[in-house]
A and B are shown apart, each in its own frame.
Chain A
Amino acid sequence: MIGKLIKYEFKHTSKTMFTTWIVLAAATLMGSLALYRLDQGNHSDTTFSVVMNVIMLVLYIIALIGIFYVDFIYLCYHYYKTMYSSQGYLTHTLPLSPAAAFSVKIFAFFIWMLASSVLLVISVLVLLNVGSGGEFFSTISTFMWDEFIQSVNELFGISAPFLIFIFIADTFLGILWRILWVTTSMAIGQLFQSGRTGFSILAGFCIYMVNQVVNTILLAASGYNLTAFLDGMPENLIRQILGGSMIISAVMLIALYGICVYINKKRLNLE
């Protein structure tokens, strides 16, 4: 049953998501072309063509940022519509536990946003490659990679694979955090009889503040200060901050997930 719901969840959202990705591909093509022409610029180029290429690059950057937000907002809207609006009547009367229905929606949301993020990174890499005359990947794979490993070791006292692991884990946690932040805010908002949008926004603000306060307390408790940073932090301190930050994020995610499941199971309010 959960497998079927996953299938339908992806099916119902795929059309819009694929459309935004086609727009991203078109924007990448446009940006690459503009960058290539600027890179190959010769004296015969008119001011008009240079300006046009710059405009195309600016449009590419706007599209890059815009598509990420469009995808996120669309998935938030889809989630709200199928959980707390008219289509919620269907979702919540399927023979599934509230936790299962919620988890499937979060899973699909996460996978779509992860895929969008990966495609955005690929798009930027394509542009960098065009900008470097097609030598970006070959440079990265030899000289820069070795230098990167050495620099990470010297600057932070940690290995490059560890830093990459932290980066990937942080990306995953960051996407999940944003999703659960929004869904928990919506779940809290729907508990109220009126002004649900306002209460959702207020709940979102409160959750954000709690997260900030917890992270600040953690950072202070770990002994972080600006002087220590400028003097070069000892290896174990960096590990503590990175590891501690991830643990706190994971605890916050579990708490938000628990709140959502509890509300959908015990306090559902589809008036």
Chain B
Amino acid sequence: MNTLVTCKELTKTYGSKTALNHVSFEIESGHIIGLLGPNGSGKTTFIKLLNGLLTPTSGELYVKKLPVGIESKKIISYLPDQTYLNMNNTVKEVLDYFHAFYADFDMERACQMLDSLHISPKDRLKAMSKGTKEKVQLILVMSRRAELYVLDEPIAGVDPAARDYILQTILTNYDPDASILISTHLISDIENILDQVIFIKEGEIFLQASVDDIRMQHQKSIDALFREVFK
């Protein structure tokens, strides 16, 4: 196992509000990790710091022992919690864009996934439903052969059928040596695919453990423990 992400005493404040407070932990390769916490707990802030969209107030953050930068962006495939594509583009245009900029983008895999969903590459994004747009974004992200997939709320706001498809896509399209960091507060839907969890509460790490250990020690599901911790 290699250490993919290392954060030491990571702090991020917005004015007087502390979003992350001296957070330290590591993420190793080959795991599906749930970054779990209620709204406003600091999940998205951490993910944005990891992707270089925010700069830390203090502390250190490394991806494969390198600071967040060009090299880390090459190996992280990021799905934000919002639509971030140019809505005037067609699916084909965004596929070409990803193919041009990411050396690890697998066009064949992307086309297969689109085909299985009956999404035409000629379709324009602005003409699609919200759920279909999210699926296209997920396809783009999961078509990269990245070392770390960072998915921010991938199942929020979509119907149960779409959730199943999204989870299935995640499970079937990542390299076993890669890691997936999934941020969500919809625990019950994803609990079965996780093998590690990080509970984040008011900007601090409350718990980091393997799913098996939690079930053994607490004799509870992750969802039940989450509800107990964050009630």
Residues of A within 8 A of B53 (CB): 88-89, 92-93, 268, 270
Determine if B73 and A86 form an interchain contact, defined as CB atoms under 8 angstroms apart.
Answer: no
Determine if A87 and B84 form an interchain contact, defined as CB atoms under 8 angstroms apart.
Answer: yes
Q: CA of A16 to CA of B139 in the docked complex: distance in angstroms?
A: 29
Determine if B121 is an interface residue (Cβ-Cβ < 8 Å). no
Q: CA of A193 to CA of B70 in the docked complex: distance in angstroms?
A: 26
Determine if B70 and A270 form an interchain contact, defined as CB atoms under 8 angstroms apart.
Answer: no
CB B80 to nearest CB in A, in angstroms, measures: 5
CB B123 to nearest CB in A, in angstroms, measures: 18
Contacts A1-B101, A4-B101, A193-B15 given; does A93 touch B51 at CB 8 Å: yes
Q: CA of A267 to CA of B12 in the docked complex: distance in angstroms?
A: 12
Contacts A8-B100, A193-B15 given; does A96 touch B84 at CB 8 Å: no
Contacts A4-B100, A86-B84 given; does A93 touch B74 at CB 8 Å: no
Residues of B within 8 A of A43 (CB): none
Q: CA of A87 to CA of B88 in the docked complex: distance in angstroms?
A: 12
Determine if B70 and A97 form an interchain contact, defined as CB atoms under 8 angstroms apart.
Answer: yes
Q: CA of A266 to CA of B73 in the docked complex: distance in angstroms?
A: 16
**Which size bracket describes the interface of B in this complex?**
20 to 34
Per-residue CB proximity of A83-108 to B under 8 Å, as 1/0?
00011111011111100000000000
Determine if A95 and B73 form an interchain contact, defined as CB atoms under 8 angstroms apart.
Answer: yes
Determine if A271 is an interface residue (Cβ-Cβ < 8 Å). yes
Determine if A240 is an interface residue (Cβ-Cβ < 8 Å). no
CB A75 to nearest CB in B, in angstroms, measures: 15
Closest to A94 in B: B101
When the two chains form the complex, which single residue of A5, A86, A87, A269 contacts B54, counting CB atoms closer than 8 Å?
A269
Q: CA of A95 to CA of B85 in the docked complex: distance in angstroms?
A: 17
Q: CA of A94 to CA of B52 in the docked complex: distance in angstroms?
A: 10
CB A196 to nearest CB in B, in angstroms, measures: 13
When the two chains form the complex, which single residue of A8, A86, A270 contacts B48, counting CB atoms closer than 8 Å?
A270
Contacts A86-B83, A86-B84, A193-B14 given; does A92 touch B101 at CB 8 Å: no
Determine if B82 is an interface residue (Cβ-Cβ < 8 Å). yes
Determine if B174 is an interface residue (Cβ-Cβ < 8 Å). no
Residues of A within 8 A of B55 (CB): 266-269
Residues of A within 8 A of B102 (CB): 95
Q: CA of A93 to CA of B109 in the docked complex: distance in angstroms?
A: 21
Q: CA of A106 to CA of B86 in the docked complex: distance in angstroms?
A: 19
Per-residue CB proximity of B76-99 to A under 8 Å, as 1/0?
101010111110000000000100
22 contacts between A and B (CB under 8 A): A5-B101, A12-B86, A88-B84, A89-B80, A90-B84, A92-B51, A93-B76, A94-B101, A95-B70, A95-B73, A95-B74, A95-B102, A96-B70, A97-B69, A97-B70, A193-B14, A193-B15, A268-B52, A268-B54, A269-B54, A270-B48, A271-B54
Task: List 7 A-B pairs, minimum CB-CB distance, nearest first.
Answer: A89-B84, A270-B53, A95-B73, A95-B74, A89-B80, A4-B100, A90-B84
Residues of A participating in the B interface, judged by any CB pair closer than 8 Å: 1, 4-5, 8, 12, 86-90, 92-97, 193, 266-271
In the complex, besides A93-B73, A266-B55, A268-B53, 5 extra interface pairs with C-beta distance below 8 angstroms are: A12-B86, A86-B84, A95-B73, A95-B101, A271-B48
